[in-house]
Amino acid sequence: MATEITTIKQAAFKKKVSIHSIIRRPDGGAGLAGQTVKVGGLVKTGREAGKGAFAFIELDDGSCLDSLQLMIYADVKPLHEVTPTGTRLRVEGVLQVPPQDKQRKQRIELRVLKVLHVGSCDSETYPIPKTELKLEGLRDILHLRPRTDTTFACNWHNLFDDLQLVKVDCKMKISAIARIRDELTHATHTFFYDHKFRLVPTPIITSTDCEGAGEMFQVTTLIHDAEKMEKDGHPKPEEGFKMKAGFLPKKDGKVDYGQDFFARQTFLSVSGQLQLEAYACALDNVYTFGPTFRAEHSHTTRHLAEFWMVEPEMADADLEFMVEKYDKNAIRRLQMVASTNFIRISYTEAIKVLEEAVFKGHKFEKKVEWGIDLASEHERYLTEEKFESPVIVYDYPKGIKAFYMKVNPDNKTVAAMDVLVPRVGELIGGSQREEIYDVIKQRMLELGLPLEPYKWYLDLRRYGTVEHSGFGLGFERMVLFATGMDNIKDVIPFPRYPGRADL
Nearer to a copy of itself (CB atom), residue 20 or residue 33: 20
Among 27, 81, 161, 262, binds a copy of itself (CB under 8 A): 262
The two beta strands, 68-73 and 109-119, are parallel
- Centroid of chain to Cα 149: 21
Question: For the chain, how big is the Rg over CA atoms in Å?
Answer: 28
User: What is the spatial distance between Cα 13 and Cα 35, in angstroms, rounded to a whole number?
Assistant: 16
The two beta strands, 205-206 and 266-268, are antiparallel
Nearer to a copy of itself (CB atom), residue 365 or residue 463: 463
Count of CB atoms situated within 10 Å of the CB of 361: 6
Residue 130 in the binding site for a copy of itself (CB under 8 A): no
Task: Choose the binding region for a copy of itself from 94-102, 202-210, 327-335, 363-371 (rule: CB under 8 A).
Answer: 202-210
> Please, what is the minimum distance in Å from the beta carbon of residue 341 to a copy of itself?
7
What H or E segment, with its residue span, contains residue 315? strand 306-315
Residue 333 in the binding site for a copy of itself (CB under 8 A): no
CB-facing half-sphere around the CA of 255: CA atoms within 13 A: 15
Binding to a copy of itself (CB under 8 A): which residues in 44-63? 61-63
Among 30, 353, 375, 439, binds a copy of itself (CB under 8 A): 353
* DSSP-derived 3-state class of residue 316: coil
Binding to a copy of itself (CB under 8 A): which residues in 461-500? 461-467, 492-494, 496, 498-500
Residue 312 in the binding site for a copy of itself (CB under 8 A): no
Residue 236 in the binding site for a copy of itself (CB under 8 A): yes
Nearer to a copy of itself (CB atom), residue 340 or residue 442: 340
User: What is the spatial distance between Cα 355 and Cα 362, in angstroms, rounded to a whole number?
Assistant: 9
User: What is the spatial distance between Cα 44 and Cα 123, in angstroms, rounded to a whole number?
Assistant: 13
Residue 67 in the binding site for a copy of itself (CB under 8 A): no
Binding to a copy of itself (CB under 8 A): which residues in 408-447? 435
User: What is the spatial distance between Cα 134 and Cα 396, in angstroms, rounded to a whole number?
Assistant: 40
Nearer to a copy of itself (CB atom), residue 33 or residue 298: 298
Residue 113 in the binding site for a copy of itself (CB under 8 A): no
Q: How many residues sit close enough to a copy of itself to count as binding (CB under 8 A)? A: 141
Nearer to a copy of itself (CB atom), residue 426 or residue 459: 459
> Please, what is the minimum distance in Å from the beta carbon of residue 103 to a copy of itself?
27
Compute the Cα dihedral for 456, 462, 466, 467 and give only its sign: positive
Cα of first residue to Cα of last residue in the chain, in angstroms, is 43
Binding to a copy of itself (CB under 8 A): which residues in 271-300? 274-275, 278-279, 281-284, 290-291, 293, 295
Binding to a copy of itself (CB under 8 A): which residues in 11-40? 11, 13-14, 16, 18, 40
Residue 97 in the binding site for a copy of itself (CB under 8 A): no
> Please, what is the minimum distance in Å from the beta carbon of residue 466 to a copy of itself?
5
Task: Choose the binding region for a copy of itself from 48-56, 74-82, 95-103, 341-349 (rule: CB under 8 A).
Answer: 341-349
* DSSP-derived 3-state class of residue 55: strand
Could you tell me the CA-to-CA distances from 486 to 179, 358, 478 in Å, in that order? 17, 28, 12
Return phi, psi of residue 108, to 5°: -155, 145
Residue 146 in the binding site for a copy of itself (CB under 8 A): yes
Residue 98 in the binding site for a copy of itself (CB under 8 A): no
Nearer to a copy of itself (CB atom), residue 26 or residue 409: 409
Could you tell me the CA-to-CA distances from 98 to 22, 56, 427, 488 in Å, in that order? 14, 11, 47, 40
Residue 90 in the binding site for a copy of itself (CB under 8 A): yes
Residue 158 in the binding site for a copy of itself (CB under 8 A): no
Which parts of 143-215 are beta strand (E)?
A: 152-153, 171-172, 198-199, 205-206
Binding to a copy of itself (CB under 8 A): which residues in 204-223? 204-208, 215-223
Nearer to a copy of itself (CB atom), residue 74 or residue 343: 343
* DSSP-derived 3-state class of residue 479: helix
Task: Choose the binding region for a copy of itself from 65-73, 74-82, 101-109, 180-188 (rule: CB under 8 A).
Answer: 180-188
Residues in CB range of 180: below 8 A, 6 or more apart: 336, 479, 482, 483
